[in-house]
Structure 1
């Protein structure tokens, strides 16, 4: 599908974007998550500077992303080990037959 133009509000600033139609829902949800997180941080820490709030928000989501990536790599390693174990069992079985 084609590109569409949308306006996203993040931290009280409007950002015009051109995105594919398939991305629109994800981009809008991401902007909402960012704004919700900024509001939480503002209430919790009484920080007024939007730049500080955005930096804290970026740190939060970058940390979540890195932790998810680490878990995915660990899960991939576990799966690879199980596949190798199963392969070994099958090789033993068929070599004895």
Structure 2
């Protein structure tokens, strides 16, 4: 027996039926759809865009680039953390010798 929840989200005026595993996932989907719709409205109001495909593509690029930037920042942070740990390890080794 499947315990999936059936929900509908509206993006750019179209309804999409989805199945989610729990209420947290439902909340995440609804918040994501809301954020996409806000971004679409912003693009439609601030740019001369008449085709929904264009605003959807621009919105997808905006969200994907934010995700990639966060991923790159995490990678840089990990490199810095590893470097600092190595420096601390070397410092401890030096003092123990």
TM-score (norm 2): 0.92
Give every structure 1 segment of 4 or more consecutive aligned residues whose post-TM-superposition deviation is greater than 4 Å: none
Unaligned regions of 5+ residues in structure 2, if any? none
Aligned mates of 2:94, 2:20 — CA distance in 1: 53
Unaligned regions of 5+ residues in structure 1, if any? none
Residue in structure 2 matching 1:82, options 81, 84, 94:
84
- Counterpart of 1:5 in structure 2 is 6
Q: Note the alpha carbon deviations across 1:17-74, whole angstroms, 9 max, x for none.
A: 0011131111111000000000000001131211111001011111111111111100
Aligned mates of 1:89, 1:71 — CA distance in 2: 27
Secondary structure at the residue paired with 2:50?
A: coil
After TM superposition, the structure 1 = structure 2 runs for residues 2-81 of structure 1, keeping only pairs within 5 Å, are 2-21=3-22, 22-81=24-83
TM-score (norm 1): 0.92
